[in-house]
Amino acid sequence: MTALRERLDETSDIEIARYLFEEIAAQTRDVEGVSRPAFSSIETATLQFLESFARKEGLAVWYDAGLNARFSLPHDKDAERYVLVGSHVDSVPFGGNFDGLAGIVAGLVCLLRAHRAGERFARPVHVLAMRGEESAWFGPCYIGSKALTGTLAEGELKATHKGDGRSLDDHMADTGLPMDRIRSAVPLMDLSQVEAYIELHIEQGPLLVGKGIPAAVVSGIRGNFRHRHVRCIGEAGHSGAVPRAFRRDPVFAMADLLGRLDESWSTILNMGDDLVLTSGMVGTDPAQHAMSRIPDEITFSLDVRSQSPKTLNDMRRLLHAEMQQVEKERRIRFELDEEMSVEPALCAPHLVEGLKAAMERVGQEPFVMPSGGGHDAAVFAAAGVPSGMVFVRNANGSHNPQEAMELDDFIAATDIVHEFLKRHE
């Protein structure tokens, strides 16, 4: 028996989780935080580390057609129907270590509990460690789960990597994925075999921290529409020589547009509707910009999210109307790239109730909340797979190195998933 196996056999769930989180953080550490790029050798190495760990622990391990790692109890590998517990292994650049990874580690802890105790779940369970959820690398989000469900669009495959400029299609092909099937929108798995999809994930906002609650059941997931590159084109000029009335300044036009959208955001919230709006990438051309130069162009991103399809459609119409008004008043021109969008997703009511009941059975007061961030669960729900989620309290937000999930909270959330899997029929 290896020293690792001896150590893990004698330690608690929390120490197993600590080991996995710390080892993967060390292997994927960047200048700041961690970086696990989608469809990269680093992502593959992380999956291989999880594979090696699981095999040593006596679990069944294999890779699906999307080259995602799968794990199960040995006797459940070939089950015709199963509950899928999963999340993603990639991260944003210079990100936190728990986003995505927490859901995979939770699934493995559940399998190891059952394996060591010689127990079986109510239904067979497969744990899924997915590639390519984060949009930070290519623009499109949920790439791995969309490939599995046959919903990755042609335009998304043409999206280019933020670093090397090569297409998503090229990167996926280099990783070894079956691109003919993906380009033809053929699902890479038999969705009819999946009874339910369950995803544990860190909360990416402040609600659980503010309420002093370690975990929550999720009711639904915000949908979104996004533009990675919005161009605002004006006219260059000397900063000291061109009066305001003669300017066609794209920077001020962009600021004007975002200000108008912000005012509408406030109005929509005051009406009791759900909405968040972000412009996370803004820039002028570094080869041309200068303190004394009016730029001729600026590019920026736009990310609009809501739980309401109506609110998303209203914001689409508002965006185009406000763009036309700013174009007229400031004599500039906006150009939108192809929209990327995901519809809002409701978690399956019977899974919400089942997870709430599990939460109560393990001694926690049931608490249900919506998800502001997007998750692979939304893709499975849209594909007709009943989906549910559990959140873990996490300080300092997400998509940054300061993610601060306490392991006690992680185990509290994992307890909910484990109890659900023991009883779910």
Binding-site residue positions for Zn(2+): 88, 99, 134, 201, 399
β-bridge mates for residue 163, sequence order: none
Bridge partners for 283 per DSSP: 299
First to last CA, the chain: 36
- Angstrom CA distances, 2 to 50, 53, 227, 403, 407, stand at 16, 11, 50, 32, 25
8 A C-beta contact, residue 59 and residue 71: yes
Sign of CA dihedral 134, 139, 144, 148: positive
For 241, other C-beta atoms within 10 Å of its C-beta total 9
Identify the DSSP state of 348. Answer: P
Distance CA 405, CA 408 (A): 9
Of all helices (H) and strands (E), which one includes residue 161? none
Q: What would the DSSP string read from start to end of 361-390?
A: HTT----EEEESS--HHHHHHHTT--EEEE
| 201, containing H or E segment | strand 194-202
Task: With beta carbons less than 8 A apart as the criterion, state whether 136 and 92 touch.
Answer: yes
